[in-house]
Amino acid sequence: MDLHPNIPLKNFTTMRLGGPARFMAEARTQEEVAEIYHAAKSQSLPIFVLGGGSNVVANDQGFNGVVLRVRIPGFEVIADDPGSTTIRVGAGETWDETVKKTVDMNLSGIETMSAIPGTTGAAPVQNVGAYGQEIADTLQSLTAYDSQTDSFVTLANVDCGFSYRDSIFRGSQKGRYVITSVTLKLSKSAPQPPFYDALQKYFDDNGIHAFTQQIVRDAVIDIRANKLPDPKLLPNSGSFFKNAIIEEWKLNDLRVSYPDMPAYDMGDGKFKLSTGWLIEQTGLKGQVLHGMKVHDKNSLVLINESASSYTDLASARDEIISAVRDKFGVQIEQEPLEI
C-alpha cells in the first residue's frame, strides 16, 4: 500500500479540472481498503473514494485528504438456474466490460447500460441507469467496507435506498461505505419490447424487429456514440444534469404553454422531464459559457472547451440552472458528485 502525495485530480477526472489530492492510493484487495482507511485515520485525514472519475468534478482547492481508487478485480458466476444467472463482480472492474461479459453470456438486465464510463463499484452509488434499466433492477447485494464499524458488510438491495440516480452512498450514508463487489441477478430471457422511446425509435428507423442482448447493446453503443462526446477527446462528465422530477399538477400547468413537453410517467403522480429539452428551450444549446460548451447534440452534457478552473464550471452550471428556473419554474440539479 502506497500513499502518493500531491496528485493533480484533473488527471483523474474526465472533466479535466481540479486541484491536487494531498494523497492518492489504490486498493486492489479488500484488505488494502481497510489498510488505507487505518492509515488515513491515524493521520486524521478524510477519504474520498474515486472510481473512473467520469461522474465526479473536483474543485480548485483539491482534496486535503486521501483519494482512494478502488481497483479490486473479479468476475464469477455464483448461482445458476434455468431462468437466471447470478454473478459477483469486483468493484474495480470497468462497468462496460462487465456489461459486455454478461451480454456475451446471453444474459439480460444491464445491456442498455452499455458504454457508460466508470467502474462497477461506482454504479450503485448513483444508481446508474439508461434507456429503461438501472442497476437497482438487478443488484441483489453488495459487499462494502463500513468505515464506522471497521468491518466488511453485505448490504441487500433494499438496504441501499435506491431511487432515481440516488442511493444511501451519495445521500444519508455518504462517505461511510466503500463498495468492494456487487452481485447481480440477470435473466436468461431475450430482451422484449416495448423499449425505452429513444431505443425503440432506433430499432424502428433501422428496421430491427428481432432482439437479442447483443443487438440491444450494439444499438445503445451507436446511439451514445452519436449523442455523447468521448471524454478522451472532449473533456466532459457525461450527463451533467439529472432529469427533473415534478408533480402532475406542475406538468399540467407547463403543458398549457408547452403542449409538446416530453415527460415520462413514474407513477405516484410524479413525472420525469427531459432536462436536455428544457435547456434547449432556453436557447443555450451549443452555447459556450465560461469556457464550458453546452453540447450541440445533447444539452445535458457540458464540454470543457477552455475552462481552466472549477469556478468556470460552477459559473456555467449556475447560469444554466437559472435559465431553466426562470423559464419553466423547474429546479434542475447537477448529477456528478463533487470532491
> What's the confidence (pLDDT) of residue 1?
67
Do 157 and 83 belong to one domain?
yes
Point out the domain boundary residue: 70, 86, 106. Answer: 70
Give a yes or no: residue 257 inside a domain: yes
Do 53 and 146 belong to one domain?
no
Do 84 and 65 belong to one domain?
no
Do 278 and 316 belong to one domain?
yes
Helices 213-227 & 197-205 angle (0-180, nearest 10): 100
> What's the confidence (pLDDT) of residue 74?
97
Point out the domain boundary residue: 187, 218, 252. Answer: 187
Per-residue pLDDT tens for 213-225? 999 999 999 999 9
Do 147 and 54 belong to one domain?
no
3-class SS at 1?
Answer: coil
- The chain-wide mean pLDDT, for the chain, equals 95
Per-residue pLDDT tens for 45-70? 999 999 888 889 999 999 999 999 99
Give a yes or no: residue 204 inside a domain: no
pLDDT category of residue 16 using cuts at 50, 70 and 90: very high
pLDDT over 80 (residue 300): yes
For residue 94, the domain's CATH number is: 3.30.465.10
Point out the domain boundary residue: 150, 166, 187. Answer: 187
Measured torsion, CA atoms of residues 13, 17, 19, 25, in degrees rounded to the nearest 10: 10
Do 147 and 247 belong to one domain?
no
Q: pTM score, two decimals?
A: 0.88
Which amino acids are annotated catalytic? 165, 239, 335
Do 100 and 128 belong to one domain?
yes
E strands, 218-319, in order:
236-239, 245-247, 263-267, 270-273, 288-289, 292-294, 301-304
Do 266 and 326 belong to one domain?
yes
Per-residue pLDDT tens for 202-214? 999 999 999 999 9
Give a yes or no: residue 61 inside a domain: yes
Give a yes or no: residue 102 inside a domain: yes
Beta bridge partner(s), residue 134: 129
Residue 6: which H helix or E strand, with range?
strand 4-8
101-105, 135-139, 295-299: the lowest-pLDDT one:
295-299
For residue 16, the domain's CATH number is: 3.30.43.10
Give a yes or no: residue 89 inside a domain: yes
Q: How many domains would you assign to the chain?
A: 3
> What's the confidence (pLDDT) of residue 3?
87
Do 99 and 122 belong to one domain?
yes
Give a yes or no: residue 104 inside a domain: yes
Give a yes or no: residue 213 inside a domain: no
Give a yes or no: residue 207 inside a domain: no
The parent domain of residue 249 ranges over 236-338
Do 62 and 165 belong to one domain?
no
- Cβ atoms 7, 25 nearer than 8 A: no
Do 129 and 66 belong to one domain?
no
pLDDT over 90 (residue 275): yes
Do 270 and 318 belong to one domain?
yes
Q: Which amino acid is at 227?
A: K
pLDDT average, residue stretch 87-116: 97
